[in-house]
Each structure stands twice: as C-alpha cells, then as structure tokens.
C-alpha cells in the first residue's frame, strides 16, 4: 500500500537544478533567481486526491490532482507551457509523467524515514531534491 505523504516538508538539499532548468529552456536571469530559492513542500493526501504545494519567497505552485487520472496541467508559472499530466503510484513512489513539447519530463516523490525525496526530469537532465518532514 502506498504511503500517506500528508505533511509539511522543509528544503534540505538539491543537486543539478541548473541542468534541469536549462533543459526546460528557462532563461539565465530566471535560473539565477530560482537557484537561490529554498522551497518548502506541503502535501495533502486523502485517498486518491492530492494537493502538492511548492512554496517559496518568489512564487508558489499548487498542483491538485486525482491519482491515475490524466489532466491538463498549466505550467505557465514555471516555464510558459501546458502539458498532459498523469500521476500514478509505482510501489511506494509517486510518479508524474508530463507529456508535452519537452521529452522525458516528470518527477517522482518517495519517503525514506522522515525525508521526502524528489527527482525532476526533463530531456536528459535529472535534478534531485530532499526535504525533511516537520509536521
């Protein structure tokens, strides 16, 4: 059975974010701002309904979805695009596939103890972020 990810998570670390942002064709000025951010995550998880909030001093992004149901995701706040998105469970990992003009785009979340792990992919770039559950 998949874990319940409900909670608030503080940013701990990240690797290769700049490569990921370049793969999304984010301009240099915006990349420099984003690289300074230390976003938090807040997740509400009730059955197959989930709300994932990425919270920062620059911008917040809210993704609300039903697991296993494809939907149009508006990513204009991130990189000016829209894509067809589906989020599913692969064992204990929450996996998102974002189909659109950027190949191999998506992410996966999983827990190790009280640490929330996130891998972001776009083209051949892989960014890893870690967050610590605080409540």
pLDDT recorded at residue 24: 93
pLDDT recorded at residue 74: 85
pLDDT recorded at residue 117: 98
pLDDT recorded at residue 118: 98
pLDDT recorded at residue 69: 98
pLDDT recorded at residue 1: 76
Following DSSP, what letter does each residue of the chain receive, concatenated?
-PPP--EEEEEEEEESHHHHHHHTT--HHHHHHHHH---EEEEEEETTEEEEEEE-SS--EEEEEETT--EEEEEHHHHSEEEEEEEEEETTEEEEEEESSSTT-EEEEEEETTEEEEEEEETTEEEEEEEEE--
Which of 94, 114, 110, 118 shows the shortest CA–CA distance to 20? Answer: 118
Q: Report the Cα 119 to chain-centroid distance in Å.
A: 8
Which pLDDT tens digits describe the chain residue by residue (135 residues)? Answer: 789 999 999 999 999 999 999 999 999 998 999 999 999 999 999 999 999 999 998 889 999 999 999 999 988 767 778 899 999 999 999 999 999 999 999 999 999 999 999 999 999 999 999 999 997
State the Cα–Cα distance between residues 134 and 17, nearest whole angstrom. 23
pLDDT recorded at residue 35: 92
CB 13 within 8 A of CB 33: no
**Torsional sign, CA 64, 104, 99, 16:** positive
Tokens of residue 89, six digits: 């469970």
């Amino acid at each position: 059975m998949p874990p319940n990810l409900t909670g608030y998570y503080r940013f701990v670390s990240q690797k290769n974010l700049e490569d990921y942002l370049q793969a999304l064709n984010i301009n240099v000025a915006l990349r420099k701002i984003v690289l300074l951010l230390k976003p938090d995550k807040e997740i509400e998880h009730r059955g197959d309904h989930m709300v994932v909030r990425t919270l920062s001093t620059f911008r917040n992004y809210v993704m609300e979805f039903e697991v296993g149901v494809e939907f149009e995701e508006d990513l204009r706040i991130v990189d000016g695009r829209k894509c067809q998105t589906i989020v599913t469970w692969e064992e204990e990992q929450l996996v998102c596939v974002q189909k659109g003009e950027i190949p191999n785009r998506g992410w996966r979340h999983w827990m190790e103890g009280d640490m929330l792990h996130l891998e972001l992919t776009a083209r051949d770039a892989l960014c890893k972020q870690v967050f610590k559950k605080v409540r």
